[in-house]
Amino acid sequence: MFTMGFVISIALMGRFSHARVAGEWTTSFASLVSRQNLAFRGRTRPFLRSLSSSSSDETEYYDFDYYVIGGGSGGIASARRAATYGAKVAVAEYGRMGGTCVNVGCVPKKVMWNAASIAETIHDMSHYGFSGADEVTFDWNFLKQARDKYVARLNGIYDRNLENSKVTKHLGKASLAGPHTVKVEPTDGSEPQTYTAKHILIAVGGQPVFPKGEGVKEYSISSDGFFELEDLPRKAVVVGAGYIAVELAGVLQALGTDTKLVVRKEMALRSFDDMLRDTLDEEMQRQGIEIFRNTNGVAKIEANADGLKTVYLNNGEKIEGADVVLMAPGRIPKTESLNLDSVGVERNEKGHIKVNEYSETTAEGIYALGDVIGNIELTPMAIAAGRRLSDRLFGGPEYANAKVSYDLVPTVVFSHPTIGTIGLSEADAIAKYGADNVKVYKSKFANLYYGPFQVDPDDKPKTAMKLVCAGPEELVVGLHVIGSGADEMLQGFGIALKMGATKADFDATVAIHPTAAEEFVTMFPWGLSPQKSGAIQSPLNGANPPEPSM
């Protein structure tokens, strides 16, 4: 075992007489500061840059082993994982800790979705014998304050977790200042500081984008601005066709706002399975959301003397009297101030940082993950990628090939009703495997929740499900559901698909009755003649098998 004095003497030599010898000592020292000796690294000067003859003759030191630019979910997860291996880690963030998800994304959105779901339950309560729905009031500002306090508490938890993990926190705007070098401009206005690091991670996330158009940026808000609203809008125009647009439109409509949804083409969620798109479209209209289709976007927005806005669409239509116009056409990577070009970090045509399967950018020692790379822009995806990256960089030889898988990632849209999806859509499966090799099982029914409703069956909200199977063994390559509880049921089915489940595996699973999820394991398993598309349709209301799905 090396002694402390011996190690320090090696570090101070700075030069070796033979390249091979230098290489051997480099390997030995790298082994010394590996996981088995990380306590040493934490007590002395930071990680040595190099002892090989191919670098500078003078031994150089890094301030940190790992420097993370961005205090969002992915960056913090990676920083804390690296710290568990004993790495000396720092995180730079100029806003609140937690990034988009905690502050203006997943968390506050789910709070608002919960409120909207409660409003829907109040609306339904008379069907279960309860009265007084008309007397219930809603205080938007009260909810906003409670939500913001919860988010602030999470910010504090993130701060404490970093402190407990021995991760250094730098409050300021960070940029790349050269190879292995980060410059931080502190938020308190003090002098910029420069730090060096063996490895640098870019995890700065994305930001809302405003489309071009007269008055668009001046008279509209982004999804970030939605969480700053002090009052419930009377009338809102939501522009966008992605998950953010349909989620916020659903929240506003359920809470009492007269909501209009503007989409560029025929309908929202164009990349999703057609069953999901069609069913959500029907449900949004049933709830009272007016959808403006094939608009090609917004041409301009004008503000009237009373403060209300008129939205002019590119197809000639206009929407008058809106007190809020919410732009949600998408998000772009937040890279404009990072100085990427100076260090050779390349971006694609949409501005996302190019990375390989190991989160490596085109610049040595610099990595990127999360929304900034534009792959699967989901918080759990960024967290998983961040942890795998730290495993590979600091976890030892057994993690040498650690990387995150972007296959079969479960996704939920918190629309009203919710959507759960994993794997290939029907169209994508046919494109990949061929129509003759794809079989699709579908079902559409009214959830048992709506059983007591004394309304026309056609007016009851529907749950729709689809299994997409490929090959003679009917490997399940896609699973899609829209309806009450879709968000909670998807996680378990995600595991099944990851493990390579077939339709026969689903058929062999005993159902939990009465639930909506049981429909996935009770869809027709026997030999009916499929349609030309390969689809097998279960009857409406889950009439097959004999016990109805609920």
Summarize the annotated binding site for NAD(+) as residue ranges.
240-247, 330
Q: Is 256 left (phi over 0), alpha (psi -120 to 50) or beta?
A: left
Alpha carbon of 386 to those of 68, 82, 100, 309, 355: distances in Å?
Answer: 10, 9, 16, 43, 13
CB-based burial of residue 364 (10 Å sphere; 0-12 exposed, 13-18 middle, 19+ buried)? exposed
Question: Among all residues, which ones are annotated catalytic?
Answer: 513
Q: Can the peptide bond before residue 545 be classed as cis, meaning omega within 30 degrees of 0?
A: yes
Alpha carbon of 352 to those of 39, 336, 349: distances in Å?
Answer: 37, 11, 7
Q: Are 305 and 294 within 8 A, CB to CB?
A: no
Q: Torsions phi, psi of 315, nearest 5?
A: -95, 5
Side by side, the strands of the sheet bearing 258-262 are 290-292, 258-262, 235-239, 324-327
Q: Are 548 and 541 within 8 A, CB to CB?
A: yes
Q: Are 225 and 326 within 8 A, CB to CB?
A: yes
Q: Rg of the Cα trace of the chain? A: 27
Q: Are 87 and 66 within 8 A, CB to CB?
A: yes
Shortest CA distance to 249 belongs to which of 264, 261, 233, 241?
261
Rounded CA gap, 514 and 469, in Å? 25
Q: Which residues are annotated as a binding site?
A: 110, 240-247, 330, 371
H or E element at residue 245 = helix 243-255
Q: Are 72 and 98 within 8 A, CB to CB?
A: yes
What is the SS3 string spanning 146-190? HHHHHHHHHHHHHHHHHHHCCCEEEEEEEEEEECCEEEEEECCCC
Instruction: Please name the residues in contact with 79: beta carbons below 8 A apart, sequence gap of 6 or more.
Output: 66, 68, 89, 90, 91, 162, 165, 167, 201, 386, 390
H or E element at residue 479 = strand 475-482
Rounded CA gap, 78 and 87, in Å? 11
